[in-house]
Amino acid sequence: MLKQLGRLERTRNIVILGFAVLMAVSLIFFYAPNRTASNIDPSKNTEVIAKVGSDSITVAELARMREGIMQMYGGRMSMAAFGGNKRFLESLISKRVIVQEAERLGLAASDAELKEKLMKQFSDASGQFVGYDRYKDSIVGRYGDVESYEKEVRDSISTERLRAFVTASVNVSDDEVREEFKKRNTAFDVGYISITPDKLAAKIQPSDEELRAYFESHKNEYRYNEPQKKVRYIFIDTEKAGAKVNIPDADLKKEFEEMDPKYKEAGIKIQQIMLRVARKDLDSQVEQKAKDLIAKLTKGTRKATEQEFAEAAKGNSEDPATARNGGFLAAPYKDNPNKPHGLYSRTVTMEVGEVSDIPTRFGGNWYILRRGDSVPKTFEQAKPEILISLRNRRGYQAAFQIAQKAQTRLQETKDPQKVAQELAAEANMSAGEMVRETPYVKPGDDVPNIGTNRQFEQALESLNNANDVGVATGIKSGFAVPMLIDKKEPRVPEFDEVKAKVSETIKQQRAKEQIEQKAKDLIASLSSPDALKATGEKEGFDSGFEEGFKLSSTLGKAGSSTAIDDLIYSLKEGEISKTPLKVEDKWVIVGIVKRIEPDFTTFNAGERDRLKQQMMGTRQTQVFEDYIAGVQQRMKRDGKIKIYNDVLTRLDESEPAAEPNLPEGLNFPGQG
C-alpha cells in the first residue's frame, strides 16, 4: 500500500487505533516469543481455529493477541484471569464481525482513506513524509509486520465509520447529566455485612451419622477410577548438590571470554525527553512540540550530539529524574526479548547518536529518544550472573548424576534409607531429608512437596508391584527416584478415607441453601445502620463501615458492583436494605448512617460538558456493542461463524509445561 508514499508529502501524528482495547493491543503486538503448541510455535501456526464468513482466524493470530496482552500486563496476570484462549478467540471473532458488517453496509475503508490515514501518521516536524524506508523500518521495528499493520489500520477505519453510523442518533439529556453528577458526587457513611457460603459453611457441623448417610447414597461420586499408589522416594536437592560444586575464577573467566559479545554488554545509553499530555485535547499540540524539538535537534539529519540533546532535555523534558541528568536514563538499557514493544525497544536498532525520527506515544505522554554508546560489561560486573548460571548448570548435572546413582543402588538394594545414607554426603543432605513418602495418590492429585506433576505421574505408571523402582525424575527443586510401597486398584473408598471431603460437600450444600434466609434473619435483627458492623463481626461474617463512600468505589469485602451502587443510592439516611442483595456467590446487607448530598455550585458549564461527553461515549459504546452482539448472533444462527473446538482444545492442552526431567527454575541441562 505505501511503497508509493515516498512521492507523497504531507503527514501527521501516530494514530490511536480503534476504540476497542483488544484491537489496539492486537495492533501493537505482532511478535510473540516462542511457545509450543503441539510441535508448532503457536505464533507461526496457520491452523484455522475459527471462520467468520469467508475469513479464517488462525492459531497464530490468537497467539499474537494473547502474548500481546500478557506482555501488556508484564506477565503478572494468568491466562485464566483473561478468560483463557476462548475469550481471546471471541474478541477476534468480534473484530471480524465488525469489519464484515462495515463492508456489508458500504462503510469499509478505501485504499485512499487508508493511505490518507497512514500519511498522517509518519511525518517529521515540517509535515513531510519520512520516506518509505523509514516508514517500513519504524513499522517493522515497533509492530513487526507492515502488511498486518496496514490491515489493522484499515480495519480500524472501518470500525470507526461503522461505530459513527450506528451511534449517530445517541444523545444524553441535560436532566440525565445533572442526575449523573448527583450520583457521582453524593457521599455515604455506610455499614455493610457480606455473607459468603464459605463463612456460613464454617459454622455448620454435620454429625457423623449424616456424613455416613450421605456417603452411602453418593458412593459412586467418590469412586477412584484409577489405581492409587503409595511410593517412597529418594529426593536430591539441586541447590544443595550445587552448593558443593567448586567453581574457580578461571572457569568463570573462561565462560566470560567465550560469551557471545552481545551478552557482554551492560546495555546502551539512552537519553529521553518526555512531554506530558495534561489533557486529551492538548495531545496534538504536545505532539507537534515534540516534532519541532526533533527538527531543531537533528537539523535535517537523523542525529544529534549528546550535549545538544542534554541541553534540550534540561530545558524541555517534564521527567525531573532524567531531565536534570541531561535526559539520561539512570542505568544502561538492556533489551528484553520478552517485551519487544516497550518504550525503549526500538533504540536497540538505532545508530549511535540517532534521534527517533518521530515522537513515540507511551503511557499517555510523548517521548523523544536518543541512542547513545553501548556500555560494556566488565568481568566483575558479569561475574555474579556467570556464577549463578554455571552453578545452576553444574548443580543440575551433579544432582542428576547422584539421582542416577540412587536409581541404580535402589534397584539393587530396594532400601531407600540405606541408599540415602550412602549418598548423603555427596548430595550435601542428611539421609532424613532425602527419604520422603507420599500418601496414596493417583494422576492429577496434588502430591505433598511435589504438586501436580505430569513427569512424576509418568514415572509411577510403570510401577505395579511392591519395590518396583522408577527412573530419576525432575520435580520441584530437584530429582525424585520413586519406589512403590503399595497399590490400591480402582475402587469405592472407605468412608474414613473421604470423610473430610464428604463433610465439606454437605457444609457447602447447606450453606448455599441457608445463606439467603440467614441474611434475611440478620436484617430482621438489626435496629439501625450503625449496628451492621458489630452484628456482622459477632456472627463471624465480613462486615465494615465505610465513611464518605462514593458510588463505583469498593465497599470493603462486599466488593464493587453496579447492583451495590444502585442499592446504596436508593436508600435514605437511616435506612437499611429491606432485602439482602445477591452479588455473585455472596449476599450483601447495607445501611446508610449518613447521606451527604453534592454541592451543585461546582456543576458549571465546563463540568456539565465534560460529563456529558463521558456519558455520550459510554452510551455510544453500549449501543455499538449491543448492535454488534446482535449481528454476531444473527451470523451464528445463519451458520456464518464456526469455531473448531478440537483445535481450541488442543491449544489449551498444549500450554507450556516444565521441560522433561528438568527441575523447576533451571534451564541449563547438558551444559557446562
5-166: which CATH topology? Triger factor/SurA peptide-binding fold (1.10.4030)
Contact 405, 262 (CB under 8 A): no
How would you class 439 by CB atoms within 10 Å of its CB: exposed for 0-12, middle for 13-18, buried for 19 or more? exposed
- In angstroms, what CA-CA distances link 649 with 65, 82, 636, 654, 657? 18, 17, 20, 9, 16
Residue 25 is predicted with a pLDDT of 37
pLDDT value, residue 80: 66
Q: What is the pLDDT of residues 436-477, one digit of tens each?
A: 999 999 999 999 999 999 999 999 999 999 999 999 999 988
CATH 1.10.4030 spans which residues of the chain?
Answer: 5-166
**Per-residue pLDDT tens digits for 45-104:** 889 999 999 999 999 888 888 877 766 665 555 666 667 888 899 999 999 999 999 999
Tell me if residue 346 falls in helix, strand or coil. Answer: helix
Please, where in the chain does CATH 3.10.50.40 lie? 226-244+382-488, 262-377
- pLDDT category at 8 given cuts 50, 70, 90 is very low
pTM recorded for the entire structure: 0.56
**Per-residue confidence (pLDDT) for residue 35, from 0 to 100:** 37
Per residue in 303-324, pLDDT tens?
999 999 999 999 999 999 999 9
133-147, 443-457, 552-566, 623-637: the lowest-pLDDT one: 133-147
What class, spelled out in words, does domain 187-217+497-596 have in CATH? Answer: alpha beta
pLDDT in the model for residue 383: 83
pLDDT at 77: 58
Task: Say what the pLDDT of residue 78 is.
Answer: 63
Closest C-alpha to 312, from 284, 271, 283, 279: 271
Mean pLDDT of 353-381: 88
CATH number assigned to the domain with residue range 226-244+382-488, chosen from the 4 options 3.30.450.20, 3.40.50.410, 1.20.272.10, 3.10.50.40: 3.10.50.40
Indicate the pairing of strand 265-275 with strand 187-195: unpaired
- What is the Cα–Cα distance from 116 to 17, expressed in whole angstroms? 14
Residue pair 295/126 in contact (Cβ under 8 Å)? The answer is yes
Q: For 112-139, what is the mean pLDDT?
A: 80
Winning range, highest mean pLDDT, from 87-91, 328-332, 356-360, 478-482:
478-482
Domain 262-377: which CATH class? alpha beta
User: If you ran DSSP here, which 8-state letter would residue 259 be given?
Assistant: S
